[in-house]
Amino acid sequence: MNIQGKTAVVTGAASGLGAACARMLASNGARVFLFDVNEGLGAALATELGGGARFVKADVSDADSLKAAYEQADGPLSIAIQCAGIGVSRRTVNKEGPMDLEQFSKVIRVNLIGTFNSIRLAAARMSTNEKDENGDRGVLVNTASIAAYDGQIGQAAYSASKGGVVGLTLPVARDLSGIGIRVCTIAPGIFDTPLLGSLPEDVRASLGAQVPHPSRLGQPSEFALLAKHIIENPMLNGETIRLDGALRMAPK
């Protein structure tokens, strides 16, 4: 699908991987709607991008909030990139006792249910589009993590949520194949996002050194580059692609 002139939505667009995808789409001529709970960062990015980019405050885990946000994304919607996500590090049993169930549930609500919430609303909009020369009406790109496969100590909630995103990729692609909507997921390794930005530089360097090649943290722009290729390559569908420099994470 040609990005030029298309309307796109990015969830979790205010920072990190989502912001990189929003920049990529805008630089390639798309009209971008930035969905995020962080109003300050989201509005600032929309101003930076210009060209009709617009921020809409939205909570992907809330059905009414995201539905209202999609209603503000006017015009034929062709691209949706799901980047909204959170993480928590808690052992199943720790010194205080069993992990708080609400902490586990919140990660599932945002990362897994929030991803599907955006998928279903975006796909419904895309289903009314005219098909392009490749038969596409739309493209959906989701964000998982290599933690879906190599979850570390304390990552039960995060790994389960991202494993769910991997698990829904193929059946949703099959669901939407008759409509002409493609679905792929990117499973990034260790990327230089705001979550890691709060860590000391020596810790960040140590994390990057664990990556076989290139031995560094991934850049959000590299995630966006793969998202761009998925959008533009008509044969990519129903697949989860690891983007990790050959990293396989140890238990901790």
What residues are labeled active site?
Answer: 158
Identify the CA nearest to 48 among candidates 69, 22, 29: 22
What are the structure tokens assigned to 119, written together? 């998928």
The DSSP annotation for 56-102 comes to EE--TT-HHHHHHHHHHS-S-EEEEEE---------SEETTEEPPHH
Instruction: Give the list of residues 6+ apart from residue 158 with CB closer than 8 angstroms, or none.
Output: 87, 88, 89, 107, 111, 145, 147, 151
Query: Are 8 and 54 spatial neighbours (Cβ–Cβ below 8 Å)?
Result: no
Amino acid 94 reads: N
**For residue 214, cis peptide bond before it (omega within 30 degrees of 0):** yes
